[in-house]
Amino acid sequence: MLREINTHSPEETIAFGRTLSELLSPPKLVLLRGDLGAGKTTLVKGIAAAFEAASEDDVTSPTFTLIHEYRGARANLFHIDLYRIDTPRELDTLALDDLRSENSILLIEWGEKFPRLIRERDVEIAMEREGESVRRIRVSA
Ligand SMILES: Nc1ncnc2c1ncn2[C@@H]1O[C@H](COP(=O)(O)OP(=O)(O)O)[C@@H](O)[C@H]1O
Ligand SMILES: [Mg+2]
């Protein structure tokens, strides 16, 4: 376990995300695990802010668009939501490999549905709802 924390508000989760920039220096493939509402997208707000790639408010869920790109000086962030992707063939059509480069960070929600992404991940961030506003966050490599 690299980092572990309980947060008690969305703001605290965003603040924690802001502390992860060194750990997530590119290139990285990051799996964000956790149920709907666990706080995965909220955490990305902090990560994107840390890389000065987007303001917190500009980060929204890519549920329908599947991929959001945020360009920062030190990294290109790709926030990806595979909730609606069901087969490896559909995954292939997203061509995630084309997004990978020396300065890219892929932050993937629901990536654990695909064994290939589990194998290729550099970092995993697992989030669990422990109460109305409490989230347990564990970062491992
Ligand atoms: N400690 C917390 N950390 C993150 N989100 C929280 C927290 N407490 C409550 N929430 C709420 O939980 C929801 C998390 O939503 P979201 O980040 O979109 O989750 P996910 O992307 O995992 O589905 C938001 O409505 C947020 O306000
Ligand atoms: Mg989400």
Total domains, the chain: 1
Q: Is 62 in the pocket of ligand 1 (CB under 6 A)?
A: no
**Domain membership of residue 110 as a residue range:** 12-130
Q: Give the pLDDT band (50/70/90) at residue 64.
A: confident
For residues 79-92, average pLDDT: 96
Asked if the structure places residue 7 within a domain, the reply is: no
Asked if the structure places residue 137 within a domain, the reply is: no
In angstroms, what is the span from residue 136 Cα to ligand 1's centroid?
Answer: 11
What does the alpha-carbon distance between residue 28 and residue 26 come to, in Å, rounded to a whole number? 5
Q: Is 27 in the pocket of ligand 1 (CB under 6 A)?
A: no
The domain that holds 37 is classified in CATH as: 3.40.50.300
pLDDT in tens, 12-44: 999 999 999 999 999 999 999 999 999 999 999
pTM check: above 0.95? yes
